[in-house]
Structure 1
């Protein structure tokens, strides 16, 4: 199957560059190019692309405004290109809140060290979003509205039967004792995390550990935004942070978040993973989950949300061996059913939950 892509950018050079890279993949074809947001809206309606790549800053109409209009009229998966600056991070989060599903740095050297690797990653991300469009065209991510306003594995493993939770029945607690909550996510994760965390009360009595694949400037901005939206406290984790109940610690981009100490008294340890082998992501769900398992053992609830690849599977395997409870987001509400699918296919998840049901199940399982 060949997926259709619309490329939107005010730079003729960048449009041609992105188009050339995408057209190198036999599964992708660029069907149009737009130089501003207004053209993007018109061409999206006319060409019905499977994916749109979108710049933020453009004349006539900016990318964020275009995203809002497109999602209101002809919902289409949108990948944003942004700069790795503070302003770029804020604009990208605004675009995700408006309905964009993913983002990449506009400078390809910031995506990967090798040019071909960067091109391959771009192609993979576009195809992952295109498959989401093909799977569910009318409803992309916002199957459950956010309670507050704004905000390398390409082949999927064979899925073993998962326990799907009946959303018509109230959540039922297992009665198990917990000491902490951990959540891992990638593509589609920012909005998914917002959907969950804004529903947790201020008196939520457990610490929360968040691992979201993001660059460093983005995690700083995202933590600040979530802290403003949520009743619980949300902060970007810092080395030496003493773990407190009711606080969510977001792993900083470009680093790894570990924990040291005991379940009653532990601290955050932020490290550069230059000495670690077989670790692709910074931050890594696998690495953080494994570290949390050594501290909390089986007294941990871990949730794997939407995202490409299989990060989190091995961390969940380690947690499962210690008796921890693991849940995964279901396929229908994922932007990309990669990470949750990997966990489910490995037989590690005990429940498959729709995004809109995750928070209520957490509150039932971990009551305040």
Structure 2
């Protein structure tokens, strides 16, 4: 007997776009389009009556834009939402706000508000909608609560600190350190939760790979920089690594390092192909860092689909001192990448999202 299909509501002010997206799901075994909405107001009504499992929503719409609609949806009738956004600066900034307000994921339109070539992202959109349809409401609600409680400082539940506590031998707090973070679906929210808790005096540089297309990583870096004590920037070729600074790999580039004398600089690589569909890839970040042994590494893998980071973690662990921290299933929007990391048996601590910053800090001078 086939499982019941998940219900999708499509929200877009363009009839052409609504038709295109509806057609994408014609042959889907898992998703059935149950309705369309022309704007945010219309969407809120339709969600109440149709009770979809997942919604695709345009970021920029008249009458009530995607962000305003999203805030209301998440407070009254929470549901998994995948945003469609343009790659304009305004579009990328709005998309990050949408992620902050509870959207699960987003897809960048290939060419502006009405993309005649939307078929280019058909596969990505279908996959992201299918993934989103399977995220539990409990997770969505918890994510919403965590973000609203970050300000008040009251957190939901204490950590299940180390369910796998592989003790770290010969860890010397005084050695030079570097923090490496990899994440994907749900990552922007997770990064905000972690990076904003790191102190300005952090005695390590932080290198971050977040799966995202070009343009969005710049908005993400700027957003985190506004909210954080440490300096956060989109990594640029030749950036010198400094303590208390975080560098986010730009969409479309792997993040590597080069050593000149005692100075480490960033090398951006758009020649090596994507790994399992991702450039930047966490595996490349970790593998590249395994070549350098004059600092100890703290490798962190957070929410995301797939297994990016696990192969790189195996390389890292073979060379030098490495502490591996994985986000727990309790708080991951998608428990894919951390699960794959835990299955390598190389993870030292499994930690709820709200305690990851603390877990990192405890290993630093």
TM over 0.5: yes
Match of 1:203 among 196, 201, 204: 201
Q: Distance in 2 between matches of 1:300 and 1:263?
A: 20
> Which runs of structure 2 are paired with 1:133-282 in the superposition (5 Å)?
133=136, 136=139, 138-140=141-143, 142-143=145-146, 145=148, 147=150, 166-167=160-161, 176-177=172-173, 179-261=177-259, 264-273=262-271, 275-276=272-273, 278=275, 280-282=277-279
Q: Distance in 1 between matches of 2:79 and 2:343?
A: 28
Q: Distance in 2 between matches of 1:127 and 1:359?
A: 31
SS at match of 2:232: strand
Once the two structures are superposed, residues 52-91 of structure 1 have per-residue CA deviations (whole angstroms, 9 ceiling, x without a partner) of 1110111221100000000001111111000112111111
Q: Is 1:63–2:66 an aligned residue pair?
A: yes
Match of 2:155? none
Q: Distance in 2 between matches of 1:312 and 1:108?
A: 31
Which is worse superposed, 175-184 or 220-229?
A: 175-184
TM-score normalised according to structure 1 size: 0.86
Q: CA deviation at 1:324?
A: 1.4
RMSD of aligned C-alpha atoms?
2.9
TM-score normalised according to structure 2 size: 0.87
Match of 1:50? 53
SS at match of 1:254: coil
Which is worse superposed, 136-145 or 6-15?
A: 136-145
Asked if the contact 2:274/2:281 (under 8 Å) is kept, the reply is no
Q: Is 1:104–2:107 an aligned residue pair?
A: yes
Match of 2:80? 77
SS at match of 1:302: strand
Match of 1:343? 341
| Number of aligned positions between the proteins | 348
Q: CA deviation at 1:298?
A: 7.2
Q: Distance in 2 between matches of 1:279 and 1:269?
A: 21
Closer, same or farther: CA 148–137 of 1 in aligned 2, 3 Å: closer
Asked if the contact 1:4/1:49 (under 8 Å) is kept, the reply is yes
Q: Distance in 2 between matches of 1:5 and 1:115?
A: 18
Closer, same or farther: CA 248–73 of 1 in aligned 2, 3 Å: same
Match of 1:286? 283
Q: Is 1:318–2:329 an aligned residue pair?
A: no
Q: Distance in 1 between matches of 2:266 and 2:149?
A: 30
Closer, same or farther: CA 222–96 of 1 in aligned 2, 3 Å: same
Asked if the contact 1:325/1:350 (under 8 Å) is kept, the reply is yes
Give 5+ residue unaligned stretches, structure 1.
Answer: 150-163
SS at match of 1:60: coil
Closer, same or farther: CA 197–140 of 1 in aligned 2, 3 Å: closer
Match of 2:6? 3
Give 5+ residue unaligned stretches, structure 2.
Answer: 153-157
Closer, same or farther: CA 142–344 of 1 in aligned 2, 3 Å: farther
Which is worse superposed, 196-205 or 291-300?
A: 291-300
Q: Distance in 2 between matches of 1:286 and 1:357?
A: 24
